[in-house]
Amino acid sequence: MHLLIFGLGYTASRIGEALERRGWRVQGTTRDGREGTVPFEDHAAVAHAIGHATHILSSVPPDGDDPVLAAYGDRLGGKRLSYLSSTGVYGDAGGAWVDESAPIMGRRPARNAADAAWLAMGARVFRLPGIYGPGRSPLERVGGGKAHRVDMPGQVFSRVHVDDIVSGVIAGLEAPAGAYNLADDHPCPQNEVVEFAARLLGLPPPAFVPLDALSPMARDFYAENRRVANGKAKRVLGWTPRYPDYRLGLRALRAMTSPTPASAAPAAASSDQR
């Protein structure tokens, strides 16, 4: 098996590493064409990589049009396609549960269109909520003094550990085409997660801040309220999250880190390629 990954971001890199350990050949494209990768703008090199791949995975977020489909969509026929999308395509559900049958009402038209385009290509579209994992979790934000709480009663979010995305995507590579939500079993307020991270670090919970003090991106985050159901992935893919709630996930991450909160590294940006 030979996988070509478009966009070696935080999550996609880990998917590639896991498949290499299983004996797959994995190639990846990058914008900078760093050593060991295929430059995205080198059309001849990318076409060659596509020709040899059995599977294609894109983690590249849309920028207007979907960059991968715009540049190489006509070459992807006959490949097993997968795409890392976002549960943001569901938009605000007022705190209700959403599954893959929910209407697409997200406030980012480009993301909605990319999700639909990959589905129309026959891809397995993995819709992901907030991603956390090593080096990118509330532990780093709290330990680095960058976390906060927002007083918004009833606000609920879903999240997923990066290792559970890896296992879900691998389980879905040969699954029927369609959309799959990969989220944990315990949607909850973000404040609850931040407070638990502070307890694990032996630190006081961070202060409350008003919503209008947040960045535009953060305010967008709080403008949507939903619980993401993962039953289809469990039924169809045979997938079970190793970390079904944030407590298990954060405890495992804490066990990997230094006991000194001041040594925590700054959190990675949340808007990277997946």
Q: Are 239 and 105 in contact (CB under 8 A)?
A: no
Share of the chain above pLDDT 70, in %: 94
- Give SS3 for 107: coil
User: Could you read off the pLDDT of 3-29 as tens digits, one per residue?
Assistant: 999 999 999 999 999 999 999 999 999
Share of the chain above pLDDT 90, in %: 88
User: Could you read off the pLDDT of 82-112 as tens digits, one per residue?
Assistant: 999 999 999 999 999 999 999 999 999 999 9
pLDDT band at 265 (very low <50, low <70, confident <90, very high): very low
How confident is the model over 155-171, as a mean pLDDT? 98
- Give SS3 for 51: helix
Q: Is the pTM of this model over 0.75?
A: yes
Residue 160 pairs in a beta bridge with 131
Distance between CA atoms of residues 156 and 142, nearest Å: 20
User: Could you read off the pLDDT of 125-157 as tens digits, one per residue?
Assistant: 999 999 999 999 999 999 999 999 999 999 999
Query: What pLDDT, on the 0 to 100 scale, is given for residue 88?
Result: 97
Indicate the average pLDDT of the chain.
93
Query: Which letter, b or e, does each residue of 191-217 get, where b requires 16 or more Cβ atoms within 10 Å of its Cβ?
Result: bebbbbbbebbeeebbeeeeeeeeeee
How confident is the model over 244-271, as a mean pLDDT? 68
